[in-house]
Amino acid sequence: MALFHQLLDEQICLTPGTLYSPSGRYHNGLRLSCCYPFNARYTQALARVGAKACEMSGLPAGIAQGEE
């Protein structure tokens, strides 16, 4: 939820995974909408989601888990 709130402040909206789980699972997940054409604005927002997630997790941006 912290990622959701911080990105919402930047006008980037994603859906917390818990919204799609009646049992409250998927707190570490998120859902992205891909119903609009993929363009530069979408690409920049998606890159920002990744960078912010890395920042919040303490991982360097661009390094996926398991690739350290």
Domain boundaries, the chain: 2-57
pLDDT digits (tens, 9 = 90+) for 5-53: 899 889 998 888 888 888 878 877 887 777 778 899 988 998 999 899 8
Q: Which structure tokens are listed for 3?
A: 């990622």
The reported pTM is 0.71
- Position with higher pLDDT, 57 vs 24: 57
Tokens 């994603």 label which residue? 14
Reduced to 3 states (helix: H, G, I; strand: E, B; else coil), residue 45 is helix
pLDDT at position 64 is 56
pLDDT at 2 over 60: yes
